[in-house]
């Protein structure tokens, strides 16, 4: 998979024309789009929702598991946020509905020594974040996008939304949160992508910061 990181390096950054009033919202090297490109590794999973669950384990006082129906009983929050993909597209004012992560955390107790979280998702995907990154008000376990249920290609039945970072940190098809005392790299972090992934710092890759082809995302499916 490191080949993807290598493939994304190499050409000049795109030239961007954007209204000055919006320019501060667009990270360097990004292109603004109205589309919602669809990018992921592997096939879109299919689910039997009668057996689907979301696990919380690791450095917690007690491992817990939630059914989809359990989660639907939690308080719901609506957010609007800008999102940024490492493949150079950004989309402003995306509307999400779901469970705020800080509300989700009220249903279990993490141990004091827990500092990081590994987000586990289908298909065999995982990505890591410090716990503090999940405490922002715009971080959601999202069920809906733009007023409608998520489509399977965008992460149904449940995805994470962490707008502060490049969007590979916002895992689709989430199935578990593993709380950890020490950091551990996830799927893309092991395969050439930056561990932190701050778009405004252009933290795209784990080694030298080389440009990414400006048209990579345009070759993907979108809606």
Closest-CA residue to 122 (of 52, 74, 182, 23): 52
Q: Which two tokens stand for residue 45?
A: 């999973």
Beta-bridged to residue 58, according to DSSP, are: 179
Tens digit of each residue's pLDDT (9 = 90 or more) over 20-52: 888 999 999 999 999 999 887 788 999 999 999
Q: How far is residue 197 CA from its own chain's centroid?
A: 11
What is the biggest distance separating any 2 CA atoms in the chain, rounded to whole angstroms? 51
Return the residue matching tokens 């800080």. 102
pLDDT at position 206 is: 81
Tens digit of each residue's pLDDT (9 = 90 or more) over 181-223: 999 999 999 999 999 999 999 999 986 554 555 555 444 455 5
Tens digit of each residue's pLDDT (9 = 90 or more) over 56-111: 999 999 999 999 999 999 999 999 999 999 999 999 999 999 999 999 999 999 99
Task: Answer whether residue 4 shows pLDDT above 50.
Answer: yes
Calculate the average pLDDT of the chain. 89
pLDDT at position 8 is: 58
**pTM confidence score:** 0.87
Topology of the domain covering 2-219: Sulfite Oxidase; Chain A, domain 2 (3.90.420)
Closest-CA residue to 85 (of 116, 40, 135): 40
DSSP structure class, residue 74? S
Task: Answer whether residue 11 shows pLDDT above 60.
Answer: no
Tens digit of each residue's pLDDT (9 = 90 or more) over 143-152: 999 999 999 9
């Amino acid at each position: 998979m490191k080949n993807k990181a290598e493939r994304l390096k190499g050409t000049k950054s795109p030239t961007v024309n954007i209204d000055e009033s919006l320019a501060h919202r667009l990270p360097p090297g990004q292109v603004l789009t109205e589309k919602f490109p669809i990018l992921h590794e592997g096939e879109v999973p299919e689910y039997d929702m009668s057996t689907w669950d979301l696990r919380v384990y690791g450095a917690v006082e007690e491992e817990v598991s939630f059914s989809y129906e359990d989660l639907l009983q939690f308080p719901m929050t609506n957010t609007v946020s800008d999102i940024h993909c490492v493949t150079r597209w950004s989309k402003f004012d995306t509307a999400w509905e779901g469970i705020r992560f800080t509300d989700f955390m009220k249903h279990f107790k993490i141990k004091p020594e827990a500092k990081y979280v590994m987000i586990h998702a289908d298909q065999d995907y995982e990505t890591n974040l410090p716990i503090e990154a999940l405490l922002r008000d715009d971080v959601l376990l999202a069920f809906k996008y733009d007023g409608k249920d998520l489509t399977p290609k965008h992460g149904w039945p449940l995805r994470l939304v962490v707008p502060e970072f490049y969007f590979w940190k916002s895992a689709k098809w989430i199935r578990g949160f593993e709380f950890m005392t020490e950091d551990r790299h996830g799927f893309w972090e092991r395969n050439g992508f930056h561990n932190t992934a701050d778009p405004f710092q252009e933290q795209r890759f784990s080694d030298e910061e080389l440009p990414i082809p400006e048209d990579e995302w345009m070759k993907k499916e979108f809606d």
